[in-house]
Amino acid sequence: MATDFLSITDLTAQGLTQVLDNADNFRQGQGSGTPLKGKNVAMLFEKPSLRTKVSFDIGIHDLGGHAVYLGQDEVGLGGRESVEDIAKVLGRYVSIIVARVFTHETLERMANAASVPVVNALSDYEHPCQAVADLLTIRQHRGRLDGMTVAFVGDSNNVSRSLALGCAMTGASFRLAPPNGYEFSAPDAEAIRAVFRDHGNAEGFVMLTSPDEAVAGADVVYTDVWTSMGQEDESPMRREAFTGYQVNDALMGKAGPNAIFMHDLPAHYGEEVAPGMLDHKQSVVFDQSENRLHAQKAILELLLPSS
């Protein structure tokens, strides 16, 4: 029976801490051999990718396995062949399927049909592998997660959802500041709040409209693109709505004195982030990018025993 990783909440809080500990060991150069030796992993990508693709490819190689990359033009997911048929066929060749898709439902269909674990390498709903790397980075730079306050200035999207849920599971609080009209829907916000409640931090999730209010005294300031992949048609409208929701030096000055700046990238300078912010003295963005590699290895290792 395959155990999938479609949402960060597919892990227990204890499981997530274990993954973070293992990822931290990889970060510190303490690898754990070649558990993927003789195994193959399919990487099926409907959307472009730099960090996710390269970190999975190298992570699989470092663990002794072989990665097969399949772009949308080659496979024709749901067009040339059905999602289910592709999942069933790949399951005969590989031990894990890593997939980046437009709609989360595609992942769920794939996971239902596949005989091997399916990993969410980004959907429109969640980006759990990113969240693992993000939590690892916060731990690396702030020493802990429990009691931390993460301020996310930007969209209610895949990245903010996974990070909010990951914060709930690790004792951190999460303040989201999207412009009016870009909040999580009421049921989505309630679903996130329920995870905070379940982990004993009922007040841990707050939605605000003011970036200043969100970052006030925060330990982490995070932003992501205003327009996610698949929303390109909305870009002019979003550019207007998100004006003022930019992380820059002035906004960082309103966060806590040791606050770190994070961005999952790619960055759109002049939109969600001011030019130069990635090299700001409080930026940990390139450590965050590096941590994608350590996180992917820990995630692959976790899924391996059941594959």
Per CB under 6 A, residues contacting ligand NVA are 122, 157-159, 224-225, 228-229, 264
Task: Determine the longest span between alpha carbons in the chain, in angstroms.
Answer: 54
Q: Is the peptide bond before 266 cis (omega within 30 degrees of 0)?
A: yes
Nearest approach, Cβ of 50 to ligand NVA (angstroms)?
9
Contacts of 222 by beta carbon, 8 Å cutoff, 6+ apart: 134, 150, 151, 152, 153, 154, 160, 163, 261, 262, 263
Nearest approach, Cβ of 45 to ligand NVA (angstroms)?
12
Nearest approach, Cβ of 155 to ligand NVA (angstroms)?
7
Contacts of 205 by beta carbon, 8 Å cutoff, 6+ apart: 164, 168, 173, 174, 176, 189, 192, 193, 196
Nearest residue (CB) to ligand NVA, 4 versus 126: 126
List the helix and strand counts (H, then E) for the chain: 12, 9
Nearest approach, Cβ of 190 to ligand NVA (angstroms)?
22
State which residue has the least CB distance to ligand NVA: 228
Nearest residue (CB) to ligand NVA, 95 versus 228: 228
Range 247-258 burial, b when 16+ CB lie within 10 A, else e: beeebbebbbee
Nearest approach, Cβ of 52 to ligand NVA (angstroms)?
7
> Alpha-carbon distance 86 to 45, whole Å?
13
Nearest residue (CB) to ligand NVA, 63 versus 277: 277
User: To the nearest 10°, the Cα dihedral for 249, 165, 158, 128?
Assistant: 100
Nearest residue (CB) to ligand NVA, 208 versus 229: 229
Nearest approach, Cβ of 98 to ligand NVA (angstroms)?
15
Phi, psi at 100, each rounded to 5°? -110, 120
Nearest residue (CB) to ligand NVA, 225 versus 260: 225
Nearest approach, Cβ of 250 to ligand NVA (angstroms)?
24
Q: What share of the chain is helix, strand, coil (3-state, %, to 5)?
A: 45, 15, 40
